[in-house]
Structure 1
């Protein structure tokens, strides 16, 4: 019992400097305060205005983000001309420098199906899903041009841009709609016509000739009368379908 009491006293003796140091510092600070400075702050109270300031900053940031989403929701093409976009991407497309998180140095042959499933967002989402202001729309021509090859006019493969399959499908639909509405130009193959009029003279569009009149003993096709079936094959067919022949 005595040994345990001695151990406890030694342990408290070791901790006493660390316990007394904050109180001594607090007393020195109180001595340095001028007279009439108001009530002294408590040793164990944390300033509450810091919590209020942090909460207000978070609320302001959330309000600004919601306002930005609402601002570019109806007119997503305005985002590509804003200062926010220029500071974030510059003159490069939104998929420039993107690299998907994958195991090893060789990327997979296909991108993921989707980056957002319900409320869960995967790690390092695709260039379209990671920025909520990047909205695929058939009138957002500058965004669609970033995913179209200027040499072939075809949409880039998702393995090059890193876009998930869900956004790639929306991208194809938006490009087709934009071309139908005239927002995007595309090349039509040149076909040289001879100038002849085949509207009535060609057999495919001309009048149907009347049916040939058949006489007794004549066949519609001349070569049909020259065909003679094999007797062995005819016997096999008759034997096989004997029950059905009348």
Structure 2
């Protein structure tokens, strides 16, 4: 090991807690681009720092100022997917048991069963409310239990039952 390497190690170990990082980096630089005058100037800076004592409060302020400059910029996450709202929440549609035309959109025309969330793409709250309103409407006699009313078969579709969001129930 050469003399310069020993000097750098001893200087680094003795001054690690008393000098700022940029002064140590300049003094201990092994880069060949650093001239002799720059390294001697850095050593003079270290010697002047050795003579003066560090105030811990001043050091704390310097560290806080430096960390404030290095804080990340506030911005939205570019990888975050947009929240998909269900069709009822998006258009602020309220379900009512006396509206069988709307409720029948969520019922299979062949079996009379309510389509699941993975097909209707409703949120959990609206899906539960839909099932309750359909049950109330069936009990009140507004809707048929086993099949969809024939006059509602040609209504426009709110979703495609043959192309579900998720192809399975779980």
TM range (shorter): 0.3 to 0.5
Greater fraction of residues in helix: 2
Larger Rg: 1
Length-normalised TM-score, structure 1: 0.26
Length-normalised TM-score, structure 2: 0.37
Q: Relative contact order (alpha carbons < 8 A, sep ≥ 6): 1 or 2 greater?
A: 2
